[in-house]
Chain A
Amino acid sequence: MEITSFTPLSAAIGGALIGLAAVLLMALNGRIAGISGILAGIMAPLRGEGRADFSWCLAFIGGLVLAPLLAGLFRGEAIQISTPHPLWMMALGGVLVGYGTRLGSGCTSGHGVCGIARLSKRSLAATAMFMTTAIVTVFIVNQLLGF
């Protein structure tokens, strides 16, 4: 198991930026910054729901993708990430995240940040649920199965 260290300062700064972005999207465009919903907005034409949200959703996703490149430029070195679990878990995880966030109407951003900030009981329940099953899953995978 890879050990990552507690980084409270960068976590607080990064969190504040996430909150700021959510507020901006609401104040300017009147939208919830829920990434699973925004991704679904890009795919809406596939569902025959029209392209009303296509361009702003694509622009938001474009901003996300540009961010680590910009951060890498400022830092002078590329951002490094690592994936501790095997590839099949990434694939299975992806399917569950895709299906689950559509069925549950949101993910970490839409429910965990924007929904709770609106004091939505639905989002609070969703967040409690996905936090619980995520912690149980990692307990099984890392502690019981020893990955």
Chain B
Amino acid sequence: MRALSALIAGLIFGLGLTISGMINPAKIIAFLDVAGGWDPSLLVVMASALAVSFAGYRVALAREKPLFEQRFQLPGKTAIDRPLLVGSALFGAGWGLSGLCPGPAITAAALGDHEIYVFLAALLGGMLLKDGLRPGAPAAGRPA
């Protein structure tokens, strides 16, 4: 059941990215190019997504546990530390260079553009560079 619900959530998420145009690197870069022909669409996408998720989380998290799992798994860290800021700064630079972040890149994979595959291969390489191939290593952080 939890794989099916994840599939449906992923499908809806991907439809949202597709319909809003966020899988198009040109549209992301046009948003980030505030001194050029600025396209504020991403701001509307975020505002709309936040309005729905803020309200929906209130309802969902008011329950004792999720429907198909025993407990909610929420990030426990609260400190604004160096890895958070350095990591986010590097991510932003990469986002600006490519016009892609992980969700849109994966969603756009089905469209067959080779630039997307180059990005995805580099993305996985960058993740491995951080997390490493370490069988038996301690957990390196939760999905966030």
Instruction: Please tell me if the beta carbons of A118 and B130 are within 8 angstroms of each other in the complex.
Output: no
Are A129 and B16 in touch, CB under 8 angstroms?
no
Smallest CB separation, B68 vs chain A (Å): 5
B57 near A60 with CB under 8 A, answer: no
* Beta-carbon contact of A142 and B90 below 8 Å: no
A40-55 CB contacts (< 8 Å) to partner B? 40-41, 43, 46-49, 53, 55
22 residue pairs from A and B, CB less than 8 Å apart: A3-B30, A11-B44, A32-B73, A38-B143, A39-B124, A43-B131, A63-B9, A66-B11, A66-B14, A67-B18, A71-B19, A83-B113, A83-B116, A91-B121, A93-B99, A96-B94, A101-B101, A104-B89, A112-B46, A117-B50, A125-B84, A129-B89
B44 touches A138 (CB 8 A): no
Q: How far is the CB of A24 from chain B (nearest CB, A)?
A: 5
Residues of A within 8 A of B99 (CB): 83-85, 93
Cβ contacts under 8 Å, A94 to chain B: 94, 98, 100, 105, 118-123, 125-126
Inter-chain residue pair count (beta carbon < 8 A): 543
Also in contact, A125 and B93, with CB within 8 A (given A61-B106, A85-B99, A102-B130):
no
List of B residues within 8 angstroms of A89 by Cβ: 97-98
Count A interface residues, CB 8 Å.
123
A7 with B21: CB separation less than 8 A: yes
Residue among A3, A6, A95, A122 facing the most chain B CB atoms (10 A cut-off)? A95
Size band of the B side of the interface?
35 or more
Binding site secondary structure of chain A: helix
Any chain B CB within 8 A of the CB of A76? no
B144 touching A105, Cβ below 8 Å: yes
Smallest CB gap from A117: residue in B? B53
A15–B49 touching, CB < 8 Å: yes
Q: In the complex, A19 Cα to B134 Cα: how many Å?
A: 34
Q: Is the CB of A11 within 8 A of B23?
A: no
Q: Are A133 and B50 in contact (CB under 8 A)?
A: no
